[in-house]
Structure 1
Amino acid sequence: MNDFNRTFGALDARSADTSVNVGLRAFMLGVYQKLALGIALAGGLAFLVGSNTFPALTELVLFSPLRLVIQFAPLVLILGSAFLMKRPSPLATGIMYWTIVTVLGLSLSIWVYMATAGTGGALRSGATLSPTFLTIAKAFFLTASAFGALSLFGYTTKKNLQPIGVFMVFALWGLIGVSLLSFLFPPSGMMEILIQVGVLGVSGVLVATDTQNLKNSYFQYEGDTRSLAVMTNFGALNFFILFYNIFTILMSLLSRD
């Protein structure tokens, strides 16, 4: 995985003509298609569990100790793969992608459950949330619109975004660390909002930088089918996690009472 992280785009964005490259278009479309399928699967699982169509399944996912596994499994999988996948394969990265998509989809079911039941929830700061299906629709529309615009910018800009991308990765991990500390030390309402806005901004910038990194790396590995397949999986995974981050933060902000 170390060879296919966000910093693999060593080729400058201005060093290749991407306007008529059919292979690049096919590669990027493959990434976006896998992302779209992942979003569809996650959304389907969220509605299946959250709608309480199968009460036993809803109880298992949302109200049993399994919810803690679902909450932390993606982070464990990502960190574990960084140490265990020294030479990642298309199969292994594909399995990791769909596993993380499934787990995150299950975690999203809490929003659907609250919207279905008409109940609210509380954040660690004490703020209450009352999501509705309209809130879910608004958050999804805003997320998809922002993601599309930022990815288009990252694809078309001639400016090298790699330096700011590296900085944003460190910033994101810092914010994740602060968020984990909030489990031990509940933050104030304002601090919680600042953390969420920070993650929202960093995730948005990473959409653009990751898009440019994928584009640049295509030329670095052009013709290497195995490497391109691995990059497709990692690219879709990075995009999915960013989409998830943006969506859940918008849900939290839009659902506040």
Structure 2
Amino acid sequence: MADYQTIGSVGAGARAGQIDQGLRAHMNKVYGLMSVGMLLTGAAAWAIAGLATTTDPSLAQAQIGDQYLTSLGVAIYASPLKWVIMFAPLIMVFAFGALINKLSMASAQLFFYAYAALMGLSLSSIFLVFTGASIAQTFLITAIAFAALSLYGYTTKKNLSGFGTFLMMGVIGLVVAMIVNIFLQSPALMFAISALGVLIFAGLTAYDTQNIKNTYLQHAHMGDSEWLGKAAIMGALQLYLDFINLFMFLLQFMGNRE
């Protein structure tokens, strides 16, 4: 009997070791995909902002504050096209969620990278509003905060699932308030939105990290590499959105305006 118990213990330990190793590989893939997405977004935003502005007034087609816009800048920042650029990433997120089960893993990954590039176009306007130094400083602070929050979500024994519904309701409320403030242009409402946004997406960073981990642990025994691969892409998208939104809301507090 002792021999059977020993064999069973060894077998269980081996399976646990395989799951732990698989989980590390899964999380590394999630963070790797997210990092590539962030690089694409940053590069696209910086490049597009550079093409949309000029330091030569004679080449400018329009001016916003101290910034001279090229014809591209006028098209994406000062024409009705700006509304399409603003809301296109939100539409793509919903489309991605609806299509993920129909897409192959390679197609899903390509979709994510295309989304990250489009988000770069949408965020390129921050270079017209905030100084480059304050954008870099806020990005660094966001990265440190994100890493700490994600580590907490990964290591904590506390079940964070109960916060999910509350946090998602908060996100919906934020979106509605931001749309309303497009027309109201209220500084007080914008300050409140930014403060709540930081708190909500800080919570979502920890919650989503734990959820990605638990999803892998619940499905690891199935051995479906295609499903797990797409789960990693969805996890990368969730954490990518948490980072971007945390960065944008912090930028409202910490960014020095041009």
Q: Which moved more, 1:91-100 or 1:191-200?
A: 91-100
Shift of 1:61: 3.3
Q: Measured at CA, do residues 226 and 86 of structure 1 come closer, stay the same or move farther in structure 2, by a change above 3 Å? A: closer
Is residue 167 of structure 1 aligned with residue 166 of structure 2? yes
Residue of structure 1 aligned with 2:80, choices 36, 57, 65: 65
Shift of 1:166: 2.4
Shift of 1:19: 11
Q: Measured at CA, do residues 187 and 132 of structure 1 come closer, stay the same or move farther in structure 2, by a change above 3 Å? A: closer
Q: CA RMSD in A?
A: 2.4
Partner in structure 1 of residue 56 of structure 2: none
Distance 2:52 2:173 in 1: 39
Distance 2:141 2:243 in 1: 11
Q: Is the 8 A contact 2:131 2:256 kept in 1?
A: no
Q: Which moved more, 1:155-164 or 1:59-68?
A: 59-68
Highest RCO, 1 vs 2 (Cα 8 Å, sep ≥ 6)? 1
Alignment partner of 2:157: what SS? Answer: coil
Output one character per residue of 1:185-220: Cα deviation in whole Å (capped at 9) or x when no partner.
x15322211111111110110000100011111112
Q: Which moved more, 1:131-140 or 1:186-195?
A: 186-195
Q: Is the 8 A contact 1:161 1:212 kept in 2?
A: yes
Partner in structure 2 of residue 244 of structure 1: 244
Residue of structure 1 aligned with 2:215, choices 217, 222, 226: 217
Partner in structure 1 of residue 20 of structure 2: 21
Is residue 134 of structure 1 aligned with residue 133 of structure 2? yes
Alignment of 1:77-116 (within 5 A): 77-85=92-100, 87-112=102-127, 114=128
Shift of 1:65: 3.4
Give TM-score scaled by structure 2 length.
0.79
Partner in structure 2 of residue 200 of structure 1: 198
Q: Which moved more, 1:65-74 or 1:159-168?
A: 65-74
Distance 1:143 1:157 in 2: 21
Q: Is the 8 A contact 1:49 1:61 kept in 2?
A: no
Q: Which moved more, 1:91-100 or 1:79-88?
A: 79-88
Partner in structure 1 of residue 227 of structure 2: 227
Distance 2:87 2:148 in 1: 30
Equivalent pairs, count: 225
Q: Measured at CA, do residues 82 and 22 of structure 1 come closer, stay the same or move farther in structure 2, by a change above 3 Å? A: closer
The one-letter amino acid of 2:109's match is G
Percentage of identical aligned residues: 33
Q: Is the 8 A contact 1:41 1:101 kept in 2?
A: yes
Shift of 1:251: 1.7
Shift of 1:179: 1.4
Q: Is the 8 A contact 2:198 2:249 kept in 1?
A: yes
Shift of 1:66: 2.9
The one-letter amino acid of 1:218's match is Y
Shift of 1:248: 1.3
Shift of 1:84: 4.9
Give TM-score scaled by structure 1 length.
0.79
Alignment partner of 1:21: what SS? Answer: helix
Shift of 1:182: 2.0
Alignment of 1:151-190 (within 5 A): 151-184=150-183, 186-190=184-188
Distance 1:84 1:27 in 2: 22
The one-letter amino acid of 1:255's match is G
Shift of 1:18: 8.4
